[in-house]
Structure 1
């Protein structure tokens, strides 16, 4: 047990003040002293981040609230959303970090949007949305009762993706792909699932004549019948000789599952070789449009309502209409 403090008793364990500077100090040998600066409030925030704890509730800067949001709210979100949120929080911290939460006003948000929008309008919209959610959490947690400064601040207009992948384009990339990527492409096309949902499928998810999926984004549950081309694909994947067989359906011959970054890298390489420009996620939209049946597409993709599916398809193929005569 460490010695009792004789000075600076108000500092948390693992934090020290020496010659006017604050430090984070490890409690086991060899002790490492990490400088935290001279500003007490900022030092407490840095200490909290290093300790993995929460800062003093009396500190009401954006940084303090962002730390609590990162600790309590971000982990409840989907894995991909967590990654995006952490990047977005770092952007917001760089601008708003030292500001008192009450001091953030709509004109600050507008200024941030305009500056950030010069480089990435879509990212600016996502960051404003996160800022708004952090602020709402600050209100719930009692840090402020001020009006959300994002209210009334318009985001940038975004145009949804309207890329339709033809059979010829799909085949051109497929021909340049390695076998594992081919499996992933075929599975994405036949099931209409998002890339992350395709990659997480395990062999145990194939049971009772169906492929059972719980979508990461919406938590929608789907049991896709293993018939026709999907049955042939499952048989093809299962019949291929392996050095090692793992739990994952989409895996290399050594048993390693195909991860998100490997998927992107291999797909980028294949499409460059094919001279075709579409994204892996566009395969989901191709599945939706190629069914020729909106009701079928809605069920396959897990959309909550038919309007969403209609918009999804119409953006890519256009709305079919009769001629004048």
Structure 2
């Protein structure tokens, strides 16, 4: 690249050189860093749900930090961002910080930044959800739900599976031994063994969709799978209807059904971990929510 004419003085050359260096550095923004990370092989190796979440989180990160020089972002800026976002949702503030930290960690390892500004910034305390769905509550919503939601409830509960893994279930995943599920979040591969109730749920779902040929167990009228937002609408409709009919609060989420499955599973913590596909026993403690009945001094005698 030519800086200036051959007739330029030494001071003019240095002046132009410094200008070009400054211009080059101005392109090292957080916006560029985020874009490079999302385009990277490391990002592509993440679970699909994690990728979608990170893209969602990037919007607020770019709105706050996008034009800033990547090496100019300091822990105090991250703290300020979290405090503002944390006023409405501490959990979301933590998730956004995790994405920003992941981006900087990736960049630091490749010499793109000098440090990670998220290091040392304390997250908000998160209280693990402990809502256990009682059998009568489950049945109340089940009774008012449409066929799709009924089948999804049963599969999620019996297989201890996440909503995203149930809603997109392929008929090719229905094997002789059971239902093959590769967890979208952890990548864990399992075959959930058949039982009478699980077979009945799948048979019911397939019968309801027999009018249109489709590769999905749960399908829309045209044979296409449900978007999560569309499925959520059906779930909310069932819950609202059940509340009106029973006058019960029914303040649980669809994700709580997985926790109910783990809680109701008869076995040790290690057996629950193996059946649910979690990576550690500590994660099981979050999902095992049924209040335990323990002996008293007199009942033990």
Q: Which has the higher contact order (CA 8 A, sep 6+)?
A: 2
Q: Is the 8 A contact 1:288 1:301 kept in 2?
A: yes
**Cα distance in 1, alignment partners of residues 54 and 187 from structure 2:** 19
> How far does residue 300 in structure 1 lie from its aligned partner after superposition?
2.3
In structure 1, the partner of 2:174 is 206
Name the structure where helix makes up a greater proportion of residues: 2
Q: Is the 8 A contact 2:177 2:191 kept in 1?
A: no
Name the structure where strand makes up a greater proportion of residues: 1
Q: Deviations over 1:29-65 (max 9, x none)?
A: xxxxxxxxxxx9xxx9xxxxxxxxxxx8972111111
**Cα distance in 2, alignment partners of residues 253 and 60 from structure 1:** 49
Q: Higher mean Cα deviation, 197-206 or 250-259?
A: 250-259
Q: Is 1:195 matched up with 2:163? A: yes
Moved over 6 A (4+): none
Q: Is the 8 A contact 1:200 1:248 kept in 2?
A: yes
In structure 2, the partner of 1:289 is 263
Secondary structure at the aligned position of 1:207 is classed as coil
Q: Is the 8 A contact 1:184 1:198 kept in 2?
A: yes
> How far does residue 320 in structure 1 lie from its aligned partner after superposition?
3.9
Q: Higher mean Cα deviation, 257-266 or 137-146?
A: 137-146
**Cα distance in 1, alignment partners of residues 30 and 77 from structure 2:** 13
In structure 2, the partner of 1:225 is 193
Q: Is the 8 A contact 2:26 2:69 kept in 1?
A: no
> How far does residue 293 in structure 1 lie from its aligned partner after superposition?
1.8
Secondary structure at the aligned position of 1:212 is classed as strand
Q: 1:172 aligns with which of 123, 129, 140?
A: 140
Secondary structure at the aligned position of 1:211 is classed as strand
Q: Is 1:116 matched up with 2:76? A: no
Distance 1:65 1:186, change over 3 A: same
Distance 1:241 1:126, change over 3 A: closer
Q: Is 1:242 matched up with 2:217? A: no
TM-score (normalised: structure 1):
0.77
Q: Higher mean Cα deviation, 210-219 or 249-258?
A: 249-258
**Cα distance in 1, alignment partners of residues 136 and 176 from structure 2:** 34
In structure 2, the partner of 1:49 is none
Please report the RMSD computed on the Cα atoms of aligned residues, expressed in angstroms. 2.5
Question: Which sections of structure 2, spanning at least 5 residues, go unmatched?
Answer: 3-19, 244-249
Q: Is the 8 A contact 1:285 1:312 kept in 2?
A: yes
Q: Higher mean Cα deviation, 70-79 or 88-97?
A: 70-79
Distance 1:243 1:156, change over 3 A: same
Q: Is 1:312 matched up with 2:281? A: no
**Cα distance in 1, alignment partners of residues 209 and 43 from structure 2:** 41
Matches within 5 A, 1:67-146: 67-72=35-40, 73-146=42-115
